Amino acid sequence: MINSKLLGGILLIVGTSIGGGMLALPVSVSPVGFYHSLLFLFLCWLIMTSGALLVLEVNLRLPRGANMISMAKQNLGLPGQLIAWITYLLLLYTLLSAYISGGSDVFSGILKQSALNIPESITSILFTGLFGLIVYQGIKAVDYVNRGLMFGKLGVYLLLIAIISPHINITHLEGGNVRAITSSIMILITSFGFASIVPTLRDYFQDDIASLRKVIIYGSLIPLICYIAWIGVIMGVISNEGDNGLIALLTSDHATSGLTSSLYQALHNPWISGLFSFFTSICMLTAFLGVSIGLFDFLADGLHLDKSGVQGKLTLTLTFLPPLIVVLFNPGIYLHALSYAGICCVILLLLLPAIMAWIGRKKAKANTIILIPGGNISLSLLILIGCYLLYLAW
């Protein structure tokens, strides 16, 4: 029977992985087709889980509490530290831009159902300001709110899968162009970008390597299964073609609220579409809160600012103002921002760990812990894959 600590670690990875990006998956892979997307989901899971194990391997050579920045400094010197710092900051800002864009779109959709037509810029400011106040209250407030939302998210997810599945049209799952993956691969990568919490898990499990390996593998497998089921039911119900089809949403500035509308057009069931709208709201909120508190703490620590008082308000402004400005000028940036975040994930959570592992193994020789078999051949392959992914994104 699984112990509570192991379960807690697995749920931390699940919570980090399954967020607002989950809503983008059916839309982004719609030109690829369901069956082709299964292969790429598996490959992205394998690649990013390998990266997470390398993050753990490198982290184990440093004292507990060391983060990605310290790991880069130790193995790659000042240039590596700067790359890690900038990439980490860009990753959090692009994710926050995506979730503000998607969250305000959902918020706007809810207001329209209440006959309130408020400009998108105002809903973006309202969404950011309202839920940014929770972040300002600190990790305790975010934790309590997030717990309730996570239980709600899991319950509604299972309910949606159960009630939408009978409406699947198998013909909708057929076809697709495998070459279309180049435009959506980075969103798949972002969906498995959980490795940033591995140093925290290492500290939590006090160097219990066997448990940590299980947590990373099992914790990443659950999102993979959830993504497959989610893509299957959405793509099986909503057609790719037409004005309300999934492909049309790729170029829409309202991809999240548009997905709810498309589901309603496909099923003509207001109860299901209302439940789906509730689910999208929870996904955006949990993702927004998780990334926001991470960025807020990162800036406070990096700039040596207090989290309360005048300095706390300055930290809050630095956290939310840049991504909010991006969204105000590019309100439909949701899907694009998730793709940009994927580029940061490849650099920070795949390329850098592989290079650091190579250097660390060379220095430590026989005394090092190796979590990815295959020696330098495996590391070379992962580095080549990372470079190829960046080439595709270019």
Tokens of 33: 């087709």
- What is the total count of domains within the chain? 1
Q: What is the pLDDT of residue 1?
A: 53
Q: What is the CATH number of the domain that holds 364?
A: 1.20.1740.10
| pLDDT reported for residue 365 | 66
C-beta of residue 379 within 8 angstroms of C-beta of residue 357: yes
Structural domain including 265 reads 4-393
pLDDT tens string for the chain (394 positions)? 557 778 878 877 887 788 777 888 999 999 999 999 999 999 999 999 999 999 999 999 888 877 888 888 888 999 988 998 899 899 989 989 988 888 888 878 777 777 777 888 888 888 888 888 887 787 667 767 777 777 788 888 899 999 999 999 899 898 889 999 998 999 999 999 888 888 888 888 888 888 999 999 998 999 999 999 999 999 999 988 888 788 888 888 778 778 888 888 888 888 888 888 888 888 888 888 878 877 887 788 777 777 777 888 888 889 899 999 999 998 888 888 889 999 999 999 999 999 999 998 888 765 678 888 888 899 999 999 999 999 988 7
Q: Which two tokens stand for residue 59?
A: 């982290």
Q: How far is CA 204 from CA 41, 140, 142, 287, in A?
A: 29, 18, 19, 22
Supply the DSSP string of 227-285, one letter for each residue: HHHHHHHHHHHS-SSSTTSHHHHTT-S-HHHHHHHHHHHHH--HHHHHHHHHHHHHHHH
**Is 130 in contact with 103 (CB distance < 8 Å)?**
no
pLDDT of residue 174: 87
